[in-house]
Structure 1
Amino acid sequence: MGDSSPLLSEANNSSCDSETPPNNHLPSLGSTIEKCIGEINWCQFLQAILISVSWIFDAQQTFITVFTDALPSWHCIGEHQISNNGSRLLDSTREIWKDCSLGTSFNDMCNLPIGSWSWDGSAELSIISEWALECESSFITGLPASMFFMGCLVGGLFLSTLADSSSLGRKNMLFFSCLFMSLSSLLTAVSPNIWIYSCLKFITGFFRATIGTSSLVLASELVGKHWRGKIGVVGFFCFTIGFLSLPAIAYANRTTSWRHIYLWTSIPTLFYCILVKIFVQESPRWLLVRGKKEEAINSLKYISSITQSNLHLAIDTMTPQEEGNNSNVDLFLALKMLCQRKWSSRRLLLIMTIGFGLGVVYYGMPLGLGNLSFNLYLSVTFNALSELPSSLVTFLFIDKFRRRIALPMFCMLSAVCSVMSTIEGGLWNKMQIGFELVSFFSACTSFSIYVIYTTELFPTCVRNSALSMARLAVVFGGALSPLLVAAGRGNKFLCYGVFGLSIGIGGMFGVFLPETKGRALCDTMDEEENKGKDACGILV
C-alpha cells in the first residue's frame, strides 16, 4: 500500500495526464481507470475496509439460527420430584423414568410422559423450547433456516442485476440491502409463532442476498488489479469475525431469550448503514459504464490524487464505444448479455455448478454441528476460527494461486475429510471433529478463491450479475443442506458423506475454466472476449 505521492507520480507518466494518447490510439475504459486509480492508497484502503464490514452482519444473519433454532439441553426429573407428595408411581411409569437417564436424545424426550423432564435453562432460550416444537417433524423445525435460504435464492434472482443494470449501482444496493435486512431482523425478534418467524426469515434472506456481491465488487473496483485479490480477502476476514461473534453473543444471552440475539445483531447494522450512506464512494468503473462522467470524476478525485482537469482529459480520450448501453434500463440486460454469448454462458454454467457443491458444505457444515457429540458453543467457535487461517492463506497466496488448479484442489481436500468424518468407532469418534474442521477450512478457502475467481472471469458491465448468479448457486446448495442435516441425525453419511460428494464432484469442473491470475479487469463484453482468445483465436 503506497501513499498518494507514488500514485500521483505514476499517473503523471500515464495516459491519464497525457494530452495526446500514446501511439495515436484511444485508450480503453479499462486501461484508463487502472491508470487513474493506480494501485492503492490509504483512502482506497479505508474505503475497502468500510465496505467489507458489511460481511460481519451478513455472517451473523446467515448462521444465527445455529443458536436461536437449536434444541436446548434437557434433563430428567427424579422420581422424588415428580411424585405427588410421596405417592406411589405405577411400575410401568417408573420403568420409563428409569430409562430416561440412559439416553437424552431428541426421540427419547418425545417418548417420555409430560412432566418427567425439564429444560436445563430458560424455555425462552430457543424457538424450539419457547414454542414447544421439540416433538415436531424435522420439516417444521428446519423451516425457518430453509425459508432464509429460499429468501436468498429469490432475492438473488430478482435483485442480482440491479447493481449492474439499474440506476442504483453498487453503493446503493449495499446500503438498501443492509438496511432492509436489519429492519426485518428486528421484526423477527418479536415473532409470536413459528409461521411468522419463518416468513420474516424469508424476508431477511431476500434482502441479504446481494450484500456479499455488492460489497466484494465495489471494494475490488476501487483498487488496482494487483490489490483486488487481497482486498477481496478482507471481506472474508470480516465474515469470519461476524461468524465468530455469534458464539460470544449467544453465550452472553444463554440465560435470557433468543430474541436478544436478534437485537444484538440487527441494531448495529442500522448504524453501519448510516456510515455507508455518508462515507462510501460509488465505483468509478460502474459510473463510466453507465455514462455518468461527472460522478465518476468526483469519485476518482476523492479516492486518488489525480487532478480534476487530468481526469476530464483522460476520460474524454477513452474509446467512445465503451460507454454504450448506458441508457438501457432493462433490469435483466446483464443476464441477457451473459446468456447471449457462448463463452460467457459456458463460464457461468461451470461456475454455478462449482458453487452448488460449495454451498452444500459451506452452509451445511455449521448447521450440522449439532449432530456431532461435541459442545455446540465450542464447535461453532472452532469452525469460525478455522475461517481465519483460511482467509490468511488466501490473502498471502492469492497472487500465487493458479485459480483453475487451486479451486479443485481445495474442494477435493474438503470432500475427502468430510467423508472421513462419518467413520465411527473407537478412536474415529474422537477424530470426527478434526476431520470436520479440516473439511470446513478447505471449503472456506475454496469459497474465497471461488468468489475472487468469479469477479475476474466477467467484465464490469455484467460482473455484479455474474457474481450474484454464482452466489445464487451457492445459496441453492445451502438451501438443501438443512434437509441433509436433518437426515444425518440417524445416519451421518446422509449428512457429511453427501457433503463430501457434492463439493468433490462440483470442484472438478474448475479445470474447464480459463486462468485469470494476474490479468487486468475488463469492462465490456467485447474487451473480455478479445482478451480471452488464445494464440489460435479460440476463446477459453
Structure 2
Amino acid sequence: MELDEAFGSVGQFGRSQKRLTAFLVLLQVYVACQSMLIVLVGAVPEYHIDQGEIPASTEELARHVRFADNFTSIATEWYLIRHEAYKVNLASSLYFAGLLIGNIFFGPLSDRLGRKPVYMSGSLTNLTFAVGIAIYAFLGYYIREWRFLAFVSNSPGVFFFLLSFMLPESPRWLYSQGNTAEAEDVLQYLACGNGKERLTIKLKPCAGTMKKNDSASGVLNLVKHPVLRWRTIILMYIWYVCSLVYYGLTFSAGELGGNLYLNVALYGLIEVPAFPLCMFFIEKSWSGRRKTTTSFLIFAGFACIFTIFLPENSGFFFSPTLLALCGKLTVSAAFNIVYIYTSELYPTVVRNAGLGVCSMTCRFGGVLAPFVPSMKTLNPSVPFMVFGISGVSAGFLTLLLPETLNKPIAESIEDLQGPVYQMLKNKKVNQLEENT
C-alpha cells in the first residue's frame, strides 16, 4: 500500500500522535525558558554609585556600587554594569549563535541520520513558546537567586533528553531513505498506540531515495534562477527582521519601567492571541498572506516608533509599554505567517533549501537582538527606532512578493516562470521533436 494509505489505516492523529505532540509541546516550554534565561539571570536592578566619579576598573566599581533590588543576577554578582554591561548581551547573543550553528549543521544532518537522533540536540516545534515565557517569569518571581533559577530552568532538559529515546523515527523519513521495513515497524507501533488491532502493513517500495547532494543543489537553484533569487533575498530580510524585532522586544521587557516579572510575563502572554488572529486573516480573500504579513509588520514598526513620543507616566493605556506589547503581538503574528507563506512561495523541489536559508538568516537577527536594547545608552529612543524602521521596511518589501492564497503550489521551478516562459519552452521542445 501507499504511505498515505497506511497512515489512514494506522490513524492520522490518534492517541500515539497526541502523546508525541504533548511531549513536543511541553518541550517548547523548556525551550522558551532557555531563550529567555538571560532576561532575569542577567537583569540589572537599580543601583547607586557612592562617589560622583565613575570608577574605571571593575574592582573599584565593586567597592562603590550599591544595588537596590532584592534579587541576584550575574550583573549583581560580577558587577556587569557600565563598561562591563556588554557581557550580559554577549551571553544571550552566543546562545543564538549556537542556534545558528545548529541550523547549519543539524538541518542537513537530519536528512541523513533521521529526525529523532538530531532532535536530541535541539527542538522541533514553536508551540507554547509564549506560555513558556510567562512560566519563566513566574519562576523568576519566586526564585530570586540566579544560580537556583538557572538550575530550575535547565534541569527539565535531562527529563526531556531521557524521554527522547522513546520517540519513534519519522515513518516518512524512513520511507524516503528506502528503509521500508523500519517504516512499517513504526506504523505498527503507532497503530498499537492508537488502540487498533495488529494490522498487516506492507508498503510499496519507495520510488527513489533522498540524495545526499539534494540540499546543496537546492541552495544552488535559489541563486541560479532570477525569480528564486529575488524571492530569497526578500524573504531572508523579512525573516531577519521578524527575529530581530521579536527577540529585541522580548529582551526589552527588562528595560521597561514597572515590575520586571510582570513585564516578562506580559511579553509572553501577549503572543497567545497572535496565532488565531493571523489564522483568521490569512484565509480571507481580501487580505491573504501578503497583505496580512505586510500589515502586521508595518503596524509593529509604527508601534515601536510611536513609543518614543509617549512619556513613561502617561498611564498604562497610553504608555510606551502598551505600544511595545502591541508591537510584540503583531510581529509574533507576522512570524507565524512567514513560516506558511515561505513554504508556499517555494516550489516543492527547493522548499527545504529555501526554508533552511531563511531560518539561518533568522538566527542572525537573534544574534544581534540582545545588543539593540543596550543602544539606549546612545539615546533612549534608538532601540525602538531600530525596531520600528526594520519592521516598516520589511512590511513594504513584502508587497513585492506574490500572493499565494487559493493558488496551486508550484511543484517545479518552471512553474514559477509564467506563461511566456512556458510557451517558449514548449515551442523549443516542439522544434527539437521536429528536428529528430
TM-score with structure 1 setting the length: 0.66
Does residue 409 in structure 1 map to residue 295 in structure 2? yes
Alignment-mate amino acid for residue 244 of structure 1: A
State whether structure 2 residue 119 is matched by structure 1 residue 174.
Answer: yes
Q: Summarize deviations over 1:82-118 as a string: whole Å, max 9, x none.
A: xxxxxxxxxxx7xx69xxxxxxxx99xx9x9876652
Equivalent pair of 1:69/1:126 in contact (CA under 8 Å): yes
Aligned to 1:483: 371
Q: Deviations over 1:20-59 (max 9, x none)?
A: xxxxxxxxx8x76886787544433332332333322221
Answer yes or no: is 1:70 the counterpart of 2:15. no
Q: Which residue of 2 aligns with 1:371?
A: 255
Using the TM superposition, give the Cα deviation of residue 243 of structure 1 relative to its aligned residue in structure 2, in angstroms: 1.1
* Distance across 2 between alignment mates of 1:36 and 1:402: 35
Corresponding residue number in structure 2 for 1:56: 29
Write the distance in 1 (CA, Å) between the matches of 2:199 and 2:415.
Answer: 31
1:462 Cα deviation from its structure 2 partner: 5.9
Give the 3 Å change call, closer, same or farther, for CA 531–260 of structure 1 in structure 2: farther
Partner of 2:20: 47
Q: Give the C-alpha shift of residue 509 in structure 1.
A: 3.1
Is the alpha carbon distance of 1:516 and 1:436 closer, same or farther for their aligned partners in structure 2, counting shifts above 3 Å?
A: same
1:119 counterpart letter in structure 2: F
> Distance in 1 between the 2:22 and 2:349 partners?
24
1:74–1:117 CA contact under 8 A, matched in 2: yes
> What do the CA deviations read for 1:398-457 (whole angstroms, capped 9, x no partner)?
655722222112111111111111114473895211110100000111111112333444
What is the distance in 2 between the residues matched to 1:296 and 1:417? 49
Q: Which one of 237, 251, 254 corresponds to residue 353 of structure 1?
A: 237
> 1:118 aligned to 2:61?
no
5+ long unaligned stretches in structure 1: 1-14, 17-28, 78-92, 98-105, 178-210, 217-234
Separation of aligned partners in 1, 2:142 and 2:264: 15
Q: Are 1:410 and 1:442, in contact at CA under 8 Å, matched by a contact in 2?
A: yes
The answer (yes or no) to whether the contact 2:32–2:132 under 8 Å persists in 1 is yes
Residue in structure 2 matched with residue 245 of structure 1 by the alignment: 135
In the TM superposition, residue 376 of structure 1 has moved relative to its aligned partner by 1.4
CA contact (8 A) 2:175 2:183 kept: yes
| 1:325-357, Cα deviation, whole Å (9 max, x unpaired) | 44x378756544655555554443332111111
**Would you say the 8 A contact 2:349–2:412 is kept in 1?**
no
* Paired residues of 2:215 and 2:353 also in contact (CA < 8 A): no
1:130 aligns with 2:103: no
Q: After superposing the two structures, state which structure 1 stretch, 374-383 or 447-456, moved more.
A: 447-456
**Contact in 2 for aligned 1:371/1:489 (Cα 8 Å):** no
Distance 1:515 1:32, change over 3 A: farther
Q: Name the residue aligned to 2:432.
A: none
Q: Distance in 2 between matches of 1:446 and 1:465?
A: 21
Deviation for aligned residue 1:302: 4.0
The amino acid that maps onto 1:427 is S
Contact 1:50 1:276 survives alignment (8 Å): no
Unaligned 5+ runs, structure 2 = 424-436
What is residue 151 of structure 1 aligned with on the other side?
A: 98
- 1:485–1:113 CA distance, 2 compared to 1 (3 A): closer
> Is the CA contact 2:281–2:288 (under 8 Å) kept in the aligned structure 1?
no
- C-alpha distance 114-290 of structure 1, shift in aligned 2 (>3 A): closer
Q: Does 1:389 align with 2:337?
A: no
Q: Distance in 2 between matches of 1:345 and 1:161?
A: 21
Amino-acid identity (%): 25
User: 1:262-341, aligned counterparts within 5 Å?
Assistant: 262-278=150-166, 280-303=167-190, 309=200, 311-312=202-203, 315-316=204-205, 320=207, 323-326=208-211, 328=212, 332=216, 335-336=219-220, 338-339=222-223
Structure 1: distance between partners of 2:141 and 2:218: 44
Of residues 306, 313, 329 in structure 2, which corresponds to 1:420?
Answer: 306
Contact 1:394 1:448 in 2 (8 A): yes
Distance 1:286 1:457, change over 3 A: farther
| 1:331–1:354 distance in 2 versus 1, CA, 3 Å | closer
| 1:537–1:39 Cα change, 3 Å | farther
Could you say what secondary structure the match of 1:118 adopts? strand
Measured at CA, do residues 46 and 143 of structure 1 come closer, stay the same or move farther in structure 2, by a change above 3 Å?
A: same
RMSD of aligned C-alpha atoms? 3.7
- The 3-state SS of whatever aligns with 1:125 is coil
Instruction: Name which of structure 1's ranges 454-463 and 40-49 shifts more when overlaid on structure 2.
Output: 454-463
Taking structure 1 as reference, are residues 511 and 114 closer, same or farther at Cα in structure 2, changes over 3 Å only? closer
Q: Distance in 2 between matches of 1:325 and 1:55?
A: 29
Match of 1:467?
A: 355
**1:163–1:465: 8 Å Cα contact kept in structure 2?**
no
Query: SS at 1:495's partner residue?
Result: helix
* 1:171 maps to amino acid: K
Structure 1's 456 and 363: CA in aligned 2 closer, same or farther, altered over 3 A? same
Alpha-carbon distance, 1:269 to partner: 1.6
Q: Conserved in 1, the CA contact under 8 Å of 2:341 and 2:404?
A: yes
- Matches of 2:407 and 2:164 in 1, distance apart? 30
Retained in 2: the 8 A contact 1:356–1:506?
A: no
For 2:44 and 2:98, how far apart are their aligned partners in 1?
A: 24
1:251, CA displacement in angstroms? 1.2
Residues 38 and 88, structure 2, Cα contact 8 Å, conserved in 1: no
Cα distance, 1:300–1:64 mapped onto 2, change above 3 Å:
same
State the 1:284 CA deviation: 2.7
Contact residue 188 and residue 199 of structure 2 kept, 8 A:
yes
Aligned to 1:60, the other structure's residue is in SS state: helix
Q: Which amino acid in 1 is paired with 2:169?
A: E
Does the Cα contact within 8 Å between 1:286 and 1:460 map onto a contact in 2? no
The question of 1:507 aligning with 2:395 is answered yes
Report if aligned partners of 1:418, 1:436 keep a CA contact under 8 Å in 2: yes
